[in-house]
């Protein structure tokens, strides 16, 4: 989120000069499929999951950009007072504006031959620079005060909720029911998955991409401009956890 806000500040200080929105900025590189080994260019997917930390509250929310809807869907596990809502909306509005500026910078629309933009109801009466719409998702699981834990003198259990929301969305569940949400069980489940991953790494002598020093490079290769040389993660064996069977 800090990268996006930094780009927004530069854009505003340049009097909205589009030359300040570079395709080689970190945000533009992520959109084009660089910087992470497991990254996929945004022009090959329909939905983007964006975890956002509202730093003033050390609070995690999840923003889902459904590209064909031209809309950001906001999943907040602690919808509350006016100040909280204001901070969340400020963060989301920055995303809604900056995504389209970077789309213009990287030539995104011309890369989506699978979408007829002028035929999409959400797009045909909008300019390319008009900020995305956003919707606060209602009736989703909410944190309870007694379920919070304390980090750096701030109470927050939002990261767990954001992880579960993201997991459900990857399974195609966009309307997340508030009933039968058991945070303690999800925490134990994630702990077990992390333990299995760690033991798999130890048994195989593997290394994860996060342990490789330097800036990650994409399988597709970084742009020739402003390229950093890093160790090739592909030379290291990667963990291969045993497939899990869910009943």
Q: Is residue 223 part of a domain?
A: no
Q: Is residue 187 part of a domain?
A: no
How confident is the model at residue 51, as a pLDDT? 95
Q: Is residue 104 part of a domain?
A: yes
Q: Which residue has the higher pLDDT, 59 or 237?
A: 59
Question: Does residue 106 have a pLDDT over 50?
Answer: yes
Question: Does residue 235 have a pLDDT over 70?
Answer: no
Q: Which residue has the higher pLDDT, 214 or 199?
A: 199
Q: What is the mean pLDDT of residues 189-201?
A: 92
Q: Is residue 162 part of a domain?
A: yes
Q: Which residue has the higher pLDDT, 3 or 231?
A: 3
Q: What is the mean pLDDT of residues 145-165?
A: 71
How confident is the model at residue 58, as a pLDDT? 81
Q: How confident is the model at residue 167 (pLDDT cuts 50, 70, 90)?
A: very high
Percentage of the residues of the chain whose pLDDT score is greater than 90: 49
How confident is the model at residue 209, as a pLDDT? 66
Q: Is residue 131 part of a domain?
A: yes
Domain of 157 in residue numbering reads as 2-176
Bridge partners, residue 78, by sequence: none
Q: What is the mean pLDDT of residues 1-26?
A: 84
223-234 pLDDT, tens digit each: 433 333 333 444
Q: How confident is the model at residue 220 (pLDDT cuts 50, 70, 90)?
A: very low
Q: Give the dihedral sign, CA 149/153/155/161.
A: negative
Question: Does residue 152 have a pLDDT over 70?
Answer: no
Quote the CA–CA distance of 57 and 39 in Å, as a whole number.
29
Q: Is residue 148 part of a domain?
A: yes
Highest mean pLDDT among 177-186, 204-213, 224-233: 177-186
How confident is the model at residue 150, as a pLDDT? 53
Q: Left if phi > 0, otherwise alpha if psi is -120 to 50, otherwise beta: which for 58?
A: left
Question: DSSP letter string over 131-159?
Answer: PPEEEEPPS-----GGG--EETTEE--HH
Q: Which residue has the higher pLDDT, 91 or 247?
A: 91
Q: What is the mean pLDDT of residues 132-160?
A: 76
Quote the mean pLDDT of the chain.
Answer: 82
Q: How many folded domains does the chain comprise?
A: 1
| Cβ atoms of 166 and 51 closer than 8 Å | yes
- Tokens found for residue 246: 């869910």
Q: Is residue 82 part of a domain?
A: yes
Q: What is the mean pLDDT of residues 57-83?
A: 92
How confident is the model at residue 162, as a pLDDT? 97
How confident is the model at residue 146, as a pLDDT? 56
Q: Is residue 133 part of a domain?
A: yes
């Amino acid at each position: 989120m800090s990268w996006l806000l930094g780009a927004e500040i530069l854009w505003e200080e340049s009097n909205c000069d589009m030359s300040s929105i570079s395709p080689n900025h970190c945000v533009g590189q992520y959109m084009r499929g660089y910087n992470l080994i497991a990254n996929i260019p945004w022009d090959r997917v329909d939905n983007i999951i964006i975890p956002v930390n509202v730093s003033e509250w050390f609070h995690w929310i999840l923003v889902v950009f459904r590209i064909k809807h031209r809309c950001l869907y906001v999943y907040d596990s602690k919808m509350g007072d006016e100040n909280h809502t204001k901070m969340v909306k400020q963060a989301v509005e920055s995303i809604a504006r900056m995504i389209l500026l970077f789309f213009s910078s990287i030539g995104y629309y011309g890369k989506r031959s699978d979408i007829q933009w002028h035929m999409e109801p959400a797009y045909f009466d909008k300019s390319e620079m008009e900020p995305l719409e956003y919707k606060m998702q209602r009736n989703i699981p909410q944190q309870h005060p007694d379920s919070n834990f304390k980090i750096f003198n701030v109470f927050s259990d939002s990261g767990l909720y954001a992880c579960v929301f993201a997991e459900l969305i990857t399974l195609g569940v966009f309307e997340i029911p508030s009933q039968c949400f058991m945070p303690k069980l999800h925490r134990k489940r994630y702990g077990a998955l992390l333990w299995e991953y760690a033991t798999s790494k130890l048994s195989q002598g593997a290394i994860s991409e996060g342990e490789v020093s330097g800036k990650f490079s994409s399988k597709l290769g970084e742009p020739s401009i402003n390229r950093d040389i890093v160790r090739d993660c592909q030379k290291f064996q990667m963990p291969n956890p045993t497939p899990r069977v869910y009943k």
